[in-house]
Amino acid sequence: MKLYPFPQAPLEKAIAKRMLTLPSPHKEWFSERWAQKPYKKSFIEHKAMPLITLLAKGKSWTDEEFNAELAAWTVKFYEAEAQVLRPLVEGDGLLQLMQKNMPAERAKALLEKLTRDLHE
């Protein structure tokens, strides 16, 4: 998937803000990993930015394009990661304009992916 050129700083700020409100034990789990540069880089590249791309471009893609890109995004999430990413889809914080005009069924598909593709 060609990633949307969204600035990384606002995304990191939104994730850090969300970390503050995570319930325990997700907060401790995610905070510990977020402090590690390799994890942070990987999380941004493989989980957060593709989600932002699907949010930003998903409004204008055809159903086929959206479904193909969603299917091509083959990552597994830990529950704490899903807890961090859900508000990005739901319109929380700095990224609210990206969700504006997102068809409800596509937002629902993204939320379902975060729930369905969890590590066992």
> Is the torsion defined by CA of 63, 66, 69, 74 positive or negative?
negative
| Residue 63 forms part of a structural domain | yes
Over the stretch 44-95, which tens digit does the pLDDT of each residue have? 999 998 988 888 888 888 889 999 999 999 999 999 999 999 888 877 654 5
pLDDT tens-digit readout, 25-41: 999 999 999 999 999 99
Residue 89 inside a domain? The answer is yes
Rounded Cα distance between 85 and 98, Å, is 14
Whether 55 is in a domain gets the answer yes
State the Cα–Cα distance between residues 110 and 77, nearest whole angstrom: 12
Instruction: For the beta carbon of residue 30, count every other beta carbon within 10 angstroms.
Output: 22
In a domain, 51, yes or no: yes
Residue-wise pLDDT tens digits, 90-116:
776 545 555 566 788 888 898 899 888
Identify the domain containing residue 49 by its residue range. Answer: 8-116
Question: At a CB cut-off of 8 Å and minimum separation 6, what does 119 contact?
Answer: 76, 77, 78
Please check whether residue 2 lies inside any domain of the structure.
Answer: no
